[in-house]
Amino acid sequence: MELRNLGDTGIRLSPLGLGTVKIGRDQQVKYPSGFRIPDDAAVRDLLALASELGLNLVDTAPAYGNSEERLGRLLPDRNDWVIVTKVGEIFENGQSRFDFSPRHTRMSVQRSLQRLGRDWVDIVLVHSDGNDMHIIEHEGVLDTLAELKEEGLLRAYGMSTKTTEGGLWVVENTDVVMATCNPVDTYDKPVIQRAHELNKGVLVKKGLQSGHADKSAGGGGIEAAMEYVFRHAGISAMITGTINPQHLRENVAIVERLLGQ
């Protein structure tokens, strides 16, 4: 796959990224059908296939169970990958809780580096609890990420937002936003447009509606959903979470066809 710019960060990434919640967590997820967390051999094979197909972008988070630790052990040539991780959300005992304090933010990034086996991470996003503007205006998480960037522990930072207002602020003031974009949830259109105007990075989440875009789940189809995402100028990459090798091959083929690659 031909690599794209992540805004003006200098980071080059594949237009399709692999989401990894399913390799680390199977509780409190919103997919249309159940799944079993794959064993190490299956994860290693999936990651090798992703690399073979041209992906260099992988998305994880402390809230994704043991996803970070597994990537640290199983990701081939991990320094060649663009790794996205997050801060703020903690998933324990089947429930999420949130901590956006400077102390926890710094600890979380350092812990992620240890788990991933890296001296720095490419992108760190705030895992919003839905109260974007409260986090932005009253918590110290974004200032701390800016400090960690200055210290060389991360290359770019921003937020996985849940409101249009929060998304617009993040585009104006940070490096990258993770925005929602699919034919059903269109509230982040102004965010994506503004990011394009300012040459800021945009990573798309929920492009396939957590699997509900699939026709078998009553949606309009995977290709239609992807076509909708990539018709928006300014989108750097779309994250799709799958543990099915055939689905990964099909997703890559669709993206390459849509982008004329």
In a domain? residue 176? yes
In a domain? residue 139? yes
Q: Which domain holds residue 84?
A: 4-256
| Residue among 95, 92, 170 nearest 128 (CA) | 170
In a domain? residue 261? no
In a domain? residue 160? yes
Instruction: Count the domains in the chain.
Output: 1
Distance between CA atoms of residues 40 and 223, nearest Å: 30
pLDDT of residue 33: 73
Please report, in tens digits, the pLDDT of each residue of the chain (261 residues total): 899 999 999 999 999 999 999 999 888 787 767 789 999 999 999 999 999 999 999 999 999 999 999 999 999 887 899 999 999 999 988 889 999 999 999 999 999 999 999 999 999 999 999 999 999 999 999 999 999 999 999 999 999 999 999 999 999 999 999 999 999 999 999 999 999 999 999 999 999 988 778 887 778 899 999 999 999 999 999 999 999 999 999 999 999 999 997
| Residue among 148, 204, 157 nearest 9 (CA) | 157
Active site residues: 64
CA-atom Rg of the chain in angstroms: 17
Distance between CA atoms of residues 4 and 14, nearest Å: 6
The CATH number covering residue 251 comes to 3.20.20.100
In a domain? residue 42? yes
